[in-house]
Amino acid sequence: MNATAIVRGAFGAIPDGLKCQVTLRDMEGQETTGTAVGLPGSGGDGYEERTMIRKKAYTFSLLPDGLAFPPATGMVIVRGTEEWRILAAPAINPTGNEVALYRIMAER
C-alpha cells in the first residue's frame, strides 16, 4: 500500500456526517463538485485591518476524485449557501504520481 492509498483510506474512514459536497468556481464561472471535510476557525478568524469587518477562516480537505479542474488561489469554494475565497490550495501528493487530496485554506 502506498502513501496516497493510506491518505485516501484515512479520508474514507471519516464518518459521512462530517463530509460535505462542495462546489469549486473558477474565474470564468465554470464549476466542479467534490467531497470535502471542513474545519472551521483554523486559527485565522479576525478583523480586516482598520475595519470592523469580521473575517472567517476555513480549511477544507478535498478529494480530487471527479473534479473537472484542481482548486487554485482566487477561486471560490461553496459549501451549502456559504461562499469562501480560496487563499491557497496545495496538493497533498505523497508519491509524486497522483494527488491524494487538496488542503484548501479559504476565507469569507
Digit-coded pLDDT (tens) for 85-105:
999 999 988 878 888 889 999
The pLDDT value given to residue 51: 55
- Paired residues of 24 in beta bridges: 32, 77
Q: What is the pLDDT of residues 23-60, one digit of tens each?
A: 999 999 999 999 998 876 555 545 555 555 556 788 89
Give the ranges where the chain is alpha helix by DSSP (H): 3-12
pLDDT at 107 over 70: yes
- Give the strand pairing for 101-107 and 31-40: unpaired
Per-residue pLDDT tens digits for 57-86:
888 999 998 999 999 999 999 988 989 999
Instruction: Report the CATH number that the domain containing residue 7 is assigned in CATH.
Output: 2.40.10
User: Using an 8 Å Cβ cutoff, are 76 and 83 in contact?
Assistant: yes
Query: What is the domain range of residue 38?
Result: 3-107
Contact between 79 and 104 under an 8 Å Cβ cutoff? The reply is no
Q: What is the pLDDT of residue 77?
A: 95
* Structural domain count of the chain: 1
Sign of CA dihedral 55, 16, 23, 6: positive
Q: What is the pLDDT of residue 29?
A: 96
